Structure 1
Amino acid sequence: MEQLLLHLRNLGFTEMESKIMVELATKGQASGYEVAKQLGVSRSNVYAALQRLTQQGYVRCGEGEPARYSVLNPEELSTMISGRIQTSLAYMENEMPRGGPVTPSFYNVEGDRNVLGALIHQLNLAEQEIVVDVWREEATLLRSELEQAELRGVRLLWAFDGDNAVAAPPAWTPLGGKPPRSDGRKFSFVIDRSWCMLGMRYSDGTAQAVVTEHPVMVELLLNHFTQEMVLFELEQDMGAELEQRYGDRYSSIYSKYVMHSEDGQE
């Protein structure tokens, strides 16, 4: 019942209208007094809602005293609502003003479903290029959308973390702050060199991401991807020599720039 009421509200009906329509559908027909008594609400509110629903054509008012109301059957309701929504959507698309350029901004997306939903939507809009820097777990979740993009002729550029990953620098420890969560996997996507998402998925199923079309962030992520790929190729060609000279994973180089706090102190 609650799910039905929720979807009716999503279609534009008020909570009162939704409850009245479900009640009428359950009873077949009823007077305004009977509906108000069943719902435990004031008759004036019920009659006002019934008048709106009748004027809109969703509810029929029968002859007699007292008047008895009935709601359209589900198929009729669906056809009527769908037609009106499609008409409004078409009008909005044609008539909505198209203003000047909007300054690129950043916005946050939280929750695994919301993050993946926003990403999948954008992947389906990709026209030329997708730059992907992910762990294999996230790549698996998006396999279908990435394959469809390739079939459309979109170029995919990959950098995988996980097995055979590119050597990554150590994490920067917060200065005097609480250490970051260690169970997360970073990911980034740059689509058509104009839209990007940078985020983290955690082992408990939560996720957070930043989305932007700001050219500076797009360029930073593309440069980071390029550097990873260059480092990967260098490792393939000169891995043993690099490790002999600079140490495993080049820690002697990284240590000059990344300072680790001990008990919150530098």
Structure 2
Amino acid sequence: MEQLLLHLRNLGFTEMESKIMVELATKGQASGYEVAKQLGVSRSNVYAALQRLTQQGYVRCGEGEPARYSVLEPEELATMISGRVQASLAYMENEMPRGGPVSPSFYNVEGDRNVMGELVRQLNLAGQEVVVDVWREEASHLRSELEQAELRGVRLLWAFDGGNNVPAPYPAWPPLGGKPRRNGGRKFSFVIDRSWCMLGMRYDDGTAQAVVTEHPVLVELLLNHFTQEMVLFELEQDMGAELEERYGDRYSRIYNKYVMHEQEPEEEEQADLKAE
């Protein structure tokens, strides 16, 4: 019931209107007094909402005293709402003023539903290219949109992490100052048509955070990062044995020397003694 009310509100109905429509659909038909009594709200509010719904065509008012109301069948209701929404969207798209250029900005998206919703919208708008750097868990949620983009002729460039046991191809920078790192997160990035990008983190508990922007600096950084990952991967595939033979353990240390690992407490104490 709560989910139905939520979706009705998402379609533009007020909470009162949503409850009245569900009540009428459950009873078949009822008077305003009966609806108000069942919902435990004032009759004036119910009659005002019924009048709006009747004028809009979602509810029918029968003859008689007292008047009895009924809501359209779900199929009729869906058709009417869909037609009006599509007409409003078309009008908005054609008539909305188009201003001057807007400086690129960054904005945050919080929550798994909002993050995935934003990605779905942008993937459906992709016209030329999508660059994807995700874990397989996240890619599976967007499989349909990515497949549809490819069917439209959009070029897809992929980079996947396969699971928690797969080592990252680059060193992980530890937090500084003793700040704890939140575990269980999987980074992801999308660059669409080389003009829009999202960089974020999705956690095992279902929460997610992301930054979205059209700023060319971050777009270019993500594209360069993707390119470097792919080049490094192919080099390791082609020359893995040779690199191991030539560099040995030094190969991994080439990466690690650029990451300032936090000192253990014992190491910090020894360093302080040496300084004295």
Bin the TM-score by the shorter chain.
0.7 to 0.9
Q: Is the 8 A contact 1:129 1:156 kept in 2?
A: yes
User: How far, CA to CA, are the matches of 1:140 and 1:32 in structure 2?
Assistant: 48
Against the structure 1 CA distance between its residues 3 and 190, is the aligned structure 2 distance closer, same or farther, given a 3 Å change threshold?
closer
User: How far, CA to CA, are the matches of 2:24 and 2:138 in structure 1?
Assistant: 47
When the two structures are aligned, how many residues end up with a matched partner? 262
Structure 1's unaligned 5+ residue stretches are: none
Against the structure 1 CA distance between its residues 10 and 256, is the aligned structure 2 distance closer, same or farther, given a 3 Å change threshold?
closer
User: How far, CA to CA, are the matches of 1:29 and 1:139 in structure 2?
Assistant: 47
TM-score, normalisation: structure 1: 0.79
CA offset at residue 6 of structure 1?
2.6
CA offset at residue 218 of structure 1?
0.6
1:23 is aligned to 23
Deviations 1:206-265 (A, max 9, x none): 3332222110001111111222233334434544454455543733323432111xxxx9
User: How far, CA to CA, are the matches of 1:163 and 1:8 in structure 2?
Assistant: 39
SS at match of 1:174: coil
User: How far, CA to CA, are the matches of 2:106 and 2:178 in structure 1?
Assistant: 25
Select between 65-74 and 204-213 the one with higher mean Cα deviation.
65-74
Q: Is the 8 A contact 1:58 1:72 kept in 2?
A: yes
Select between 71-80 and 171-180 the one with higher mean Cα deviation.
71-80
Select between 57-66 and 99-108 the one with higher mean Cα deviation.
57-66
Select between 120-129 and 160-169 the one with higher mean Cα deviation.
160-169
CA offset at residue 182 of structure 1?
4.1
Structure 2's unaligned 5+ residue stretches are: 262-274
Against the structure 1 CA distance between its residues 127 and 164, is the aligned structure 2 distance closer, same or farther, given a 3 Å change threshold?
farther
Against the structure 1 CA distance between its residues 22 and 145, is the aligned structure 2 distance closer, same or farther, given a 3 Å change threshold?
closer
TM-score, normalisation: structure 2: 0.77
Q: Is the 8 A contact 1:166 1:228 kept in 2?
A: no
Against the structure 1 CA distance between its residues 128 and 65, is the aligned structure 2 distance closer, same or farther, given a 3 Å change threshold?
closer
Deviations 1:41-66 (A, max 9, x none): 22222222222233333333444444
User: How far, CA to CA, are the matches of 2:86 and 2:192 in structure 1?
Assistant: 30
CA offset at residue 105 of structure 1?
1.9
User: How far, CA to CA, are the matches of 1:124 and 1:70 in structure 2?
Assistant: 38
CA offset at residue 190 of structure 1?
1.7
SS at match of 2:259: coil
User: How far, CA to CA, are the matches of 2:61 and 2:54 in structure 1?
Assistant: 7
User: How far, CA to CA, are the matches of 2:204 and 2:194 in structure 1?
Assistant: 30
User: How far, CA to CA, are the matches of 1:140 and 1:23 in structure 2?
Assistant: 38
RMSD: 3.5
CA offset at residue 125 of structure 1?
2.7
Against the structure 1 CA distance between its residues 3 and 228, is the aligned structure 2 distance closer, same or farther, given a 3 Å change threshold?
closer
SS at match of 1:124: helix
CA offset at residue 165 of structure 1?
11
Identical pairs, percent:
90
Against the structure 1 CA distance between its residues 194 and 242, is the aligned structure 2 distance closer, same or farther, given a 3 Å change threshold?
same
